[in-house]
Amino acid sequence: MQHTLYPPSRLGDHPWRIVETGFNAVDYSLNATLFALGNGYIGLRGTFDEGLLGAESDAGCYLNGVYYAEPIRYGEKAYGYARHNQRIAAAALPHELTLALDGQRVDLRCGEILEHRRELRMDEGLLYRRLRWRAPNGPVLVLESRRLVSLTERHLIATEYHFSLESGIADIELASSLNAVPGVMTDSDDPRVGAGIHKEDLVSRYSHASEETLALSHHLLSSGFTLSSAAAHHFDGAPVQFIRHASEPFRATSHYRFALTDQTSVTLTKYALFDHSRGEPVALDNRLKECRRHRFADYARAQTRQMQQFWQTADIEIDGAPRLQQGLRFNLFHLFQSLGRTPDTNIAAKGLTGHGYDGHYFWDSEIYILPFFLYTQPQLARNLLLYRHRILDSARARARELAIPKGALYPWRTIGGEECSAYYPAGTAQFHINADIAYAVRQYHEATGDDEFLRDIGAEIVFETARLWPAIGHFNPHRDGQFCINEVTGPDEYTALVNNNFFTNAMAQRHLHYAATVFDWLQNHFPEQARTLYRKLSLKPAEVAQWQHAADAMFLPFDATQGIHLQDDSFLDKPRWDFEHTPAEHYPLLLHYHPLTIYRHQVCKQADTVLALFLLGEQFSTEQKRRDFDFYEPLTTHDSTLSACAHSIIANEIGYTDKASAYFEQVARMDLDNHHRNTQHGIHTACMGGTWLCMVQGFAGMRQRHPQGLSFRPRLPSGLSGYRFQIQVRGQQLSVRVDERQVQYRLVSGDNLRLRHEGDSVSLTRDQPEASFPLATTATPSPHGAAR
């Protein structure tokens, strides 16, 4: 289902840069997402500093973890529905810079664009821009700018502007603002679009402007957050005259004027600081002073250093496919920009690049995104799980609302910890989120060996989440006492409220087994902490035995006739969706068919059973995976961006190399090519995480499983001549290089690393850090041809 709207050359194929040349208003929203910058705390959409007439609502600046909390209105309410929607809050726009050239407003919809170019430099972490613009019958202004959202000073956005003229003389008027004026509510039928900015909720706390600085603060009544921002201006070059300042609620502005000739220029550095609190505004004056001691170039250098450190361990180099290389780096770059760095924050489905999905955190974090960080920067992965621990009390309270007598139920979507899903059949009913989080705890512990984490943080999460399953499942006398879990929704949201969703049951089984294992592990290794925790949770061996029993007796739906796993009890009883008569413009189906129409049919929005085959891969034979893939793949629309990566990985496992590559190409350039036509609302961070999964767990076949340990089965995607990446495992750094002939493993740091290559044991040591093997190949023709 490839919906490429843009020719391949639109953003270039530079391996480190996303390049926009010229200006096309149609792309403005999309590019505002693609050129967004962030540092895990602040996210700033890539709109023009001078704005664009009629496109004001495309601008956005967000603070991770800060949200409105407006009551959810239901047409018809029922007990236990989520009460409030936590929507990511709009911070002041820090870059607004209205310009007039001899009284003519500088706007790319007017005048003549002689040259326009933006470059997102992923190796530097900066957005560059160059504009040559002629006012109607006027001189040519050259505006060059560099923007960064600092990776070293998390509160800072810095921009440097250079103004010059190509000929003649001109008066420039410049109004620089901090702008938090509430925008217009959006009202879309597309459930994937967030609800936009909410006016009534805002109270201005202060607004100051002076010759050199701006300061603004506003309070969100609904959630109690107070957002504060401050900005300073530093001019170099030709003389600049301060004209006046203006402060109104939600906007502070300083006005300047200067004259330019073709011999003079002016450079402006604008520093903008952001912070938030739960009460009084945060004073930013001193920090602003501190920032101003540094020049833009200082921050730019520090930024580049940070990016280099990131790429050193995180990069995946591929040979022979520059556009895939560009897409791959773009995806990893945005993950790094989006990830919250504190236990109060996580990573939103759209990162900090738009208000799509209202800025909510989903299971995407644990299942799609965590592995990338876990194997490249485990300390950042740890934070994702600390966040889950922080919101455990909210998850406990939520469980009580759902009549689950003990334990916790994590919210399907949230920022602050409370369930925000206003449509429970595709929200709260996705109980699998509990298993997903426990899966991530296990994965983290296996990759890092961080026993303290498991002891102090992970174990409590694992136990409390495990308690869900006995509460909502039961030993079904009508199925020989097997443990059944009814009325759930799996990852595939084109089927809802089913019994015995295969993914859910299989993940719950793994979860319960693991919880019992951790119970023993904690008791054996940390008896004192175990006592304390078990007392706190009133956790007794009898309950753990019940977990084991449920796990052992877990019902996994299977159709013996076709030899396939069933997505749920009734999947085979439904007629197949009439794909043949569904026009292309009716995709994604959710925007063109009522849920009842969709749910009634065999049709999948995304990988469900196929995803389980990946996550729990050691439980299933290759032949089984092939049968399941052959059955489900033709029924899957991939209307979710979470789907393609799981399909690529399993396609790899079963030797469908053509499909593996085709799916990977979609994943790698999902946002750059706007495959789902909604990147204007924000990037797709889960899919970006899927990029890394496709490469490392798909093509390189990396797995880390207990007790087998680390293993690889590298393959070369069609069209590529080689690839290289590094992973960190338990503090040791491993480099993996694959080319057309061989696979090379090298221990970059560490003493001793054991792994398996194609099933054979390999030991790397400080003395013998390298091992090479010929590249294996397996390919099986897939029955349905290349991926759609």
Query: Could you tell me which residues come within 8 angstroms of residue 594 by beta carbon, excluding any fewer than 6 positions away?
Result: none
Query: Could you tell me which residues come within 8 angstroms of residue 172 by beta carbon, excluding any fewer than 6 positions away?
Result: 99, 100, 101, 141, 163, 257, 258, 259, 260, 266
- Considering only residues 33-72, where is the footprint of a second copy by CB under 8 A? 72
Q: In 182-225, which ranges are E strands? A: 202-209, 213-220
- Residue of the chain from 85, 176, 269, 661 that contacts a second copy (CB under 8 A): 85
How far apart are CB 575 and a second copy at their closest, in Å? Answer: 4
Does residue 423 interact with a second copy by CB under 8 A?
A: yes
CA 146 to CA 587: how far, in whole Å? Answer: 39
Does residue 80 interact with a second copy by CB under 8 A?
A: yes
Distances (CA, A) of 475 to 134, 136, 224, 402, 488: 75, 77, 45, 20, 16
How far apart are CB 506 and a second copy at their closest, in Å? Answer: 18
Does residue 74 interact with a second copy by CB under 8 A?
A: yes
CA 626 to CA 121: how far, in whole Å? Answer: 41
- Considering only residues 345-404, where is the footprint of a second copy by CB under 8 A? 401-403
How far apart are CB 614 and a second copy at their closest, in Å? Answer: 27
CA 276 to CA 383: how far, in whole Å? Answer: 20
How far apart are CB 36 and a second copy at their closest, in Å? Answer: 25
How far apart are CB 561 and a second copy at their closest, in Å? Answer: 9
How far apart are CB 681 and a second copy at their closest, in Å? Answer: 15
Q: Assign residue 610 a region: left if phi > 0, alpha if psi is -120 to 50, beta otherwise?
A: alpha
Does residue 278 interact with a second copy by CB under 8 A?
A: no
Convert residues 468-507 into a mask of x (bound to a second copy by CB under 8 A) and - (unbound): ----x-x-x-xx----x-xx--------xx-x--------
How far apart are CB 67 and a second copy at their closest, in Å? Answer: 15
C-beta of 189 vs 618, nearer to a second copy: 189
Convert residues 544-573 into a mask of x (bound to a second copy by CB under 8 A) and - (unbound): -------------------------xx-xx
**Which amino acid appears at position 538 of this protein?**
S
- Residue of the chain from 424, 631, 699, 712 that contacts a second copy (CB under 8 A): 424
117's tokens: 């170019």
DSSP state, residue 270: E
- The string of DSSP letters for 485-548 reads E-SB--S-TTS-SBSS-HHHHHHHHHHHHHHHHHHHHHHHH-HHHHHHHHHHHT--HHHHHHHH
Catalytic residue among 50, 418, 493, 665: 493
Stretch that binds a second copy, among 116-124, 305-313, 364-372, 593-601 (CB under 8 A): 593-601
**Which amino acid appears at position 23 of this protein?**
F
**Rg of the chain over all Cα atoms, to the nearest angstrom:** 27
CA 503 to CA 499: how far, in whole Å? Answer: 11
C-beta of 27 vs 628, nearer to a second copy: 628
Does residue 574 interact with a second copy by CB under 8 A?
A: yes
C-beta of 14 vs 474, nearer to a second copy: 474
Best CA proximity match to 247, nearest among 207, 278, 200? 207
Determine how β-strand 564-565 pairs with β-strand 558-559. antiparallel
Does residue 590 interact with a second copy by CB under 8 A?
A: yes
Does residue 310 interact with a second copy by CB under 8 A?
A: no
- CA–chain centroid gap for 280, Å, is 31
Q: How far apart are the first and last CA of the chain?
A: 5
Does residue 421 interact with a second copy by CB under 8 A?
A: yes
CA 770 to CA 474: how far, in whole Å? Answer: 51
Report yes or no: 632 and 609 within 8 Å, Cβ to Cβ. yes
How far apart are CB 488 and a second copy at their closest, in Å? Answer: 8
Best CA proximity match to 647, nearest among 494, 491, 508? 491
Taking CB atoms within 8 Å and a gap of at least 24, the contacts of 731-739 are 731/448, 731/449, 733/313, 734/764, 736/700, 736/702, 736/712, 738/699, 738/700, 738/714, 738/775, 739/319, 739/775
Q: Would you report the helix, strand and coil content of the chain in percent, each value rounded to 5?
A: 35, 30, 35
Query: Could you tell me which residues come within 8 angstroms of residue 536 by beta carbon, excluding any fewer than 6 positions away?
Result: none
Our answer to whether residue 633 is catalytic in this structure is: no
Does residue 422 interact with a second copy by CB under 8 A?
A: yes
C-beta of 577 vs 723, nearer to a second copy: 577
How far apart are CB 468 and a second copy at their closest, in Å? Answer: 12
C-beta of 105 vs 474, nearer to a second copy: 474
- Considering only residues 444-473, where is the footprint of a second copy by CB under 8 A? 472
CA 99 to CA 176: how far, in whole Å? Answer: 9
C-beta of 460 vs 608, nearer to a second copy: 608
**The residue to which tokens 């290559």 are assigned:** 757
Report yes or no: 311 and 259 within 8 Å, Cβ to Cβ. no
Report yes or no: 721 and 320 within 8 Å, Cβ to Cβ. yes
C-beta of 79 vs 760, nearer to a second copy: 79
- Considering only residues 165-204, where is the footprint of a second copy by CB under 8 A? 188-189, 191
C-beta of 574 vs 703, nearer to a second copy: 574
C-beta of 559 vs 770, nearer to a second copy: 559
> By CB under 8 A, how many residues form the interface with a second copy?
53
The 3-state secondary structure of 582-630 reads CCHHHCCHHHCCCHHHHHCCECECCCCHHHHHHHCHHHCCHHHHHHHHH
How far apart are CB 601 and a second copy at their closest, in Å? Answer: 9
- Residue of the chain from 73, 293, 535, 536 that contacts a second copy (CB under 8 A): 73
C-beta of 72 vs 553, nearer to a second copy: 72
- Residue of the chain from 100, 180, 197, 429 that contacts a second copy (CB under 8 A): 429
C-beta of 82 vs 384, nearer to a second copy: 82
How far apart are CB 331 and a second copy at their closest, in Å? Answer: 27
C-beta of 278 vs 581, nearer to a second copy: 581
How far apart are CB 404 and a second copy at their closest, in Å? Answer: 8
CB environment 380-391: b (16+ within 10 A), e (fewer): bbbbbbbbbbbb
The 3-state secondary structure of 712-760 reads ECCCCCCCCCEEEEEEEECCEEEEEEEECCEEEEEEEECCEEEEEECCE
How far apart are CB 421 and a second copy at their closest, in Å? Answer: 7
- Residue of the chain from 78, 542, 560, 584 that contacts a second copy (CB under 8 A): 78
If DSSP codes are grouped into helix, strand and coil, which group holds residue 133?
A: strand
CA 655 to CA 649: how far, in whole Å? Answer: 10
Convert residues 597-616 into a mask of x (bound to a second copy by CB under 8 A) and - (unbound): x-xx----------------
C-beta of 189 vs 760, nearer to a second copy: 189
Reply yes or no: is the peptide bond before residue 707 cis, omega within 30 of 0.
Answer: yes
CA 199 to CA 95: how far, in whole Å? Answer: 21
Stretch that binds a second copy, among 78-86, 99-107, 178-186, 212-220 (CB under 8 A): 78-86
Question: Which residues contact a second copy (rule: CB under 8 A)?
Answer: 72-82, 85, 188-189, 191, 401-403, 421-425, 427-429, 472, 474, 476, 478-479, 484, 486-487, 496-497, 499, 569-570, 572-575, 590-597, 599-600
Q: Mind telling me the catalytic residues?
A: 493
